[in-house]
Amino acid sequence: MDFTPTEEQDAVRELAARIFGDLATHERLAAAGTGSDAELWKALCAAGLPGAVEETGLLGLVLLLEEQGRTTAQVPLAASCVYGILAVARHGTEEQRARLLPGLRDGTTVVTGALPATGGVTVREGRLGGAVDWVPWLRDATHVLVPDAERGLWLVRTEDAARIEPVELTAPWSAGRLVLDGTAGERLGTGPGAYEDVLAAARVAFAGLQAGVCAGSLARAVEYTSVREQFGRPLATHQAVQLRAADAHMDTEAIRVTAYEAAWRHDEGLDATEAALTAAWWASEAGKRVVHTGQHLHGGMGADLDHPVHRHFLWGRQLDAYLGCGTELLAELGDLLAKGDPS
């Protein structure tokens, strides 16, 4: 395994960090409310960052999403890259790639995903029916990747859906409830394993996003405790604070390294199912601990809903829920290991 970023991956990460740092400020995020930042999304697309994922792979996307997570920038980067660019590039036909990828690269086409499959979507003569209770960034999307009850993947235009009802989540992800009623869709990935591959990639991508959210939360806590004094000295000099921060740092590194490993395996064409579940479990379980620590170390300021650290707390808890919660992921990983070689 070699997680050393390539020159291209380093370049896009540095560019992303600069754009997010300049535009995803606390003031702009507060002004955006629960919606996405359209100006920031245009800046990212103009810089070619979504399109760069085709070359830098899933590991490159994880590096981008870490930078997004540090600032909790409200753009559909994770969804459109993993459910759109990577899914179409790996599982689309030549015609689908030629038709869809240009719009995904420049941001005029935005794809989100109704994954994991819940079994609530049925297919009859190429028409989809059913509903998905909430889909992240659905209100921003032009297309949504929908799995049917048999785990076939269908790309549906949001304008063709019967209804899209706004849904507010813990984090401001422009979510919506997707209702299908005889809705047309085009099949994506007719070969075996397409659903499993896209789901594994999504888990890794959102684990990378969680690594960034946790790193941002911890950085804010370190900055705050270094200047906030108690009993005549900075909070950061107290052993209890140091231990909490150290534990949070180790949890953040565990999320990062497991996401890197899973992304590397995916990019190398190796089976990444177990590694993706491991990364998702760390992101879920450890992510909760880190964002709680970040808020706790801010003391009374952490209870202020307008404080920047609270946004990291909301994102961390939402990512925990989206990834499936630790116990569910652990059970799925256990079932997967049980099916393997008993030796």
pLDDT digits (tens, 9 = 90+) for 171-218: 999 999 999 999 999 999 887 789 999 999 999 999 999 999 999 999
Q: What pLDDT is stored for residue 229 in this prediction?
A: 67
The whole-number pLDDT of residue 325 equals: 84
Instruction: State residue 343's pLDDT score.
Output: 46
pLDDT at 341: 56
pLDDT score of 241 = 80
Contact 161, 179 (CB under 8 A): yes
Kindly report whether the peptide bond that precedes residue 5 is cis, defined as omega within 30 degrees of 0.
no
Q: Tokens 């290991």 correspond to what residue? A: 337
For 248-254, the CB contacts below 8 A with 24+ separation are 248/214, 248/217, 248/218, 248/221, 248/289, 248/290, 248/293, 248/294, 249/218, 251/214, 251/282, 251/286, 251/287, 251/289, 251/290, 252/211, 252/214, 252/215, 252/218, 252/286, 252/290, 254/282, 254/286
The structure's pTM equals: 0.94
Q: Which residues of the chain have pLDDT under 70?
A: 229, 341-343
Give, in order, the Cα–Cα distances in Å from 147 to each of 123, 177, 179, 204.
10, 15, 14, 19
pLDDT at 85 (0 to 100): 97
